[in-house]
Amino acid sequence: MVMLRSFKGIRPDAKYAELVASFPYDVLNSKEAKEIASGNPHSFLHVVKPEIDLPNGTDAYADEVYQKAKSNFYQLINDKVLIQDEEPKLYIYKQTMGQHEQFGIVGCVSADDYNNNKIKKHELTRQAKEDDRTKHVLTVNANTGPVFLTYREQDDIDAIIAQYVSGNAPDYDFTKEDGIGHTFWVIADPDLQQQLTNKFAKIDSLYVADGHHRSASAARAKKEKMGADHNEEKEYNYFLAVIFPANQLKILDYNRIVFSLGEYSPEEFLVKVEEKFEVISGANYPTPKKPTQFGMYLTDKWYQLQAKDGSFPASDPVESLDVAILQNNILAPLLNIVDPRTDNKIDFIGGIRGYQELEKRVNSKEAAVAFKLYPTSITQLLEVADVGKIMPPKSTWFEPKLRSGLISHLLD
């Protein structure tokens, strides 16, 4: 059983909601964040990417960056741009991308559930990023970015959400410049909050879809804040999450570019690839149509790759993932990319950017080769997490991304 808890959210006054809502900290670099937030003092990028308000070249991990995040956050509160709800509440967050819709419950979940693996993971975290998020949480004394969680869908929870949103006007409803719609409802009724809490208490597991570093840092923040007066009712025992049913989620491909072919010429590299893949030259459409099929862009031409039988263990939930097939048959043995989490010979391109971005990076000579993958499925993610295994890095790209700033959770 998992815990869902209502809380006194820190959220925008309705007239500021669209201005405040920002991309999460980890999908923009500092330069992009500074450009987007320019002229908008209410953008939550000033909280989640506070280096944009400091001199160019400031170390993103310097103490002054975290202090700037804190001062910017509380300035928004002092200016009444952000207001705290007077009573604990739950919330509903709907996102719309084209014809796709997903409805999540916003609440707090338990750090103990994370530590006890009731909130299951599928990725490793990097120490530097985990340290960064922990310091941000502790300095600001708040979860300013929600963790994106999922669960195996429940008809009764879906029915509660559908009934509520059909009968109540949203508190926020806007579409950002990227075309993604964001609609937000506040559930003030304590009885309905309790009903949802009881429903989630019957669920065995939640799963981290996106936000492994945020969830790990929240668990570390609890440990750091525990003192002689510790009790389980204190807010630092819980962290901010948006929880979506698995059947509503959309996973896009997470593609790879490699900067050098190493010892190989393009012709020699292609010959080596053919040892483990059926290769179709000059494929007109680079998007893979099924698992174990890849698009490869090399010297101004697309190729379709089909993994040969026996080139991967089909019964292994991790090693049969497309990202693992590519890693184990091309990236590691041919291009010497042993640990893609730390190797500077590789970069990762979210599928939202399209295959044109892959072509651009290769045509500009920035990269030597690009690979377009078939998306990992949500079923694969749940299966890997259930057996306690870890996916290769950069296995999933969820869209749409949660916006930061619509809701924050104070730790005290």
Q: C-alpha dihedral over 116, 119, 125, 129, to 10 degrees?
A: -100
Side-by-side strand order, sheet with 369-372: 277-281, 301-307, 293-298, 369-372, 254-258, 346-350
Is the pLDDT higher at 229 or at 4?
A: 4
Share of the chain above pLDDT 90, in %: 89
Q: Which distant-in-sequence residues (6+ apart) come within 8 Å of 35 by Cβ?
A: none
Q: C-alpha dihedral over 255, 257, 262, 267, to 10 degrees?
A: 80
pLDDT score for 262: 94
Q: Minimal CA–CA distance to 400: which of 214, 172, 248? A: 248
What is the spatial distance between Cα 279 and Cα 294, in angstroms, rounded to a whole number? Answer: 10
Tally of residues, the chain = 412
- pLDDT (average), residues 151-173: 97
pLDDT score for 125: 86
Please provide the average confidence, as pLDDT, over all residues in the chain.
95
- pLDDT (average), residues 161-187: 97
Q: How confident is the model at residue 227 (pLDDT cuts 50, 70, 90)?
A: confident
What is the spatial distance between Cα 90 and Cα 8, in angstroms, rounded to a whole number? Answer: 9
Instruction: Express each pLDDT in 109-126 by its tens digit.
Output: 999 999 999 999 998 888
Place of tokens 């014809």: 99
Instruction: Express each pLDDT in 20-65 by its tens digit.
Output: 999 999 888 899 999 999 999 999 999 999 999 999 989 999 999 9
- Contact between 107 and 90 (Cβ < 8 Å): yes
What is the spatial distance between Cα 372 and Cα 381, in angstroms, rounded to a whole number? Answer: 19
| DSSP-derived secondary structure letter, 7 | B
Most distant CA atoms of the chain, gap in Å: 67
Identity (one letter) of the amino acid at 328?
N
Instruction: State phi, psi for 116 to the nearest 5 degrees.
Output: -90, 5
- pLDDT (average), residues 134-150: 97
pLDDT score for 281: 84
Strand partners, 10: 84, 408
What is the spatial distance between Cα 390 and Cα 189, in angstroms, rounded to a whole number? Answer: 39
Return the SS3 of 262.
coil
- Six-digit token pair at 191? 């009885």
pLDDT score for 352: 86
Residue-range domain boundaries for the chain: 4-251+399-410, 254-374
Instruction: Express each pLDDT in 341-400 by its tens digit.
Output: 889 999 999 888 889 999 999 999 999 999 999 999 999 999 999 999 999 888 998 999
Omega before 333 cis (within 30°)? no
- Contact between 323 and 395 (Cβ < 8 Å): yes
Give the angle subtended at the CA of 397 by the CAs of 181 and 290, to the nearest 5°.
Answer: 110
Q: Which distant-in-sequence residues (6+ apart) come within 8 Å of 170 by Cβ?
A: 94, 183, 184, 185
Burial (Cβ within 10 Å: 0-12, 13-18, ≥19) of residue 326 = buried
- CATH of span 254-374: 3.30.1760
- pLDDT (average), residues 228-255: 94
Burial (Cβ within 10 Å: 0-12, 13-18, ≥19) of residue 23 = buried
What is the spatial distance between Cα 49 and Cα 232, in angstroms, rounded to a whole number? Answer: 31
- Six-digit token pair at 108? 């707090």
Q: How confident is the model at residue 283 (pLDDT cuts 50, 70, 90)?
A: low
Is the pLDDT higher at 285 or at 193?
A: 193
What is the spatial distance between Cα 9 and Cα 106, in angstroms, rounded to a whole number? Answer: 10
**Whether pLDDT at 275 is above 80:** yes
Q: How confident is the model at residue 285 (pLDDT cuts 50, 70, 90)?
A: low
pTM over 0.75: yes
Q: Which helix (H) or strand (E) holds 127?
A: helix 127-140
For every residue of 338-352, DSSP letters joined together read S-TTT-TTEEEEEGG
- Six-digit token pair at 319? 């090693």
